[in-house]
Amino acid sequence: MEMGHGDEIVFCDRNFPAASKAKNLIRYDACTSIITMLDAVLPLFPLDYAAKHSLVLMHPAIKQATDPPIWQEFINKVKQFPDGGKDPLYIERLEFIERAQQAYCIVLTGETARCGNLLLQKGVVPA
């Protein structure tokens, strides 16, 4: 509830350099599924209606033949919530890490899926 309109939050897998990059680090290593985390957070966390993208995903450092399967799970989950149906933004790994450093907080999970990192921008809490 400390986050304001426009603040960003990162949910990351267990391989993300969260401890060295976060302004505010929240460790939830016991959660092995970011989807489970999103199920808990998104009903209380409005997405920013003014943001061009509801979801930002981190591209792998090395080009893959196919998109990481976890991406479609993230997209499908975010689409279930108001303002979540916008196209996701895919950014390169180093750019994602730089953006994560500016985020309000990084939530480090035990997610094991490759490229299991996403960023969301908070919207306005309805009255």
* Angle in degrees, CA 71, 75, 76, rounded to 5: 115
| Secondary structure class of 126 (helix, strand, coil) | coil
Number of C-beta neighbours around residue 50 at 10 A: 10
Nearest to 29 by CA among 12, 51, 42, 17: 12
Q: Catalytic annotation on 5?
A: yes
Q: How far apart are CA 38 and CA 101, in angstroms?
A: 21
Nearest to 59 by CA among 97, 91, 87: 91
- In the set 4, 5, 40, 94, the catalytic residue is 5
Catalytic amino acids? Answer: 5
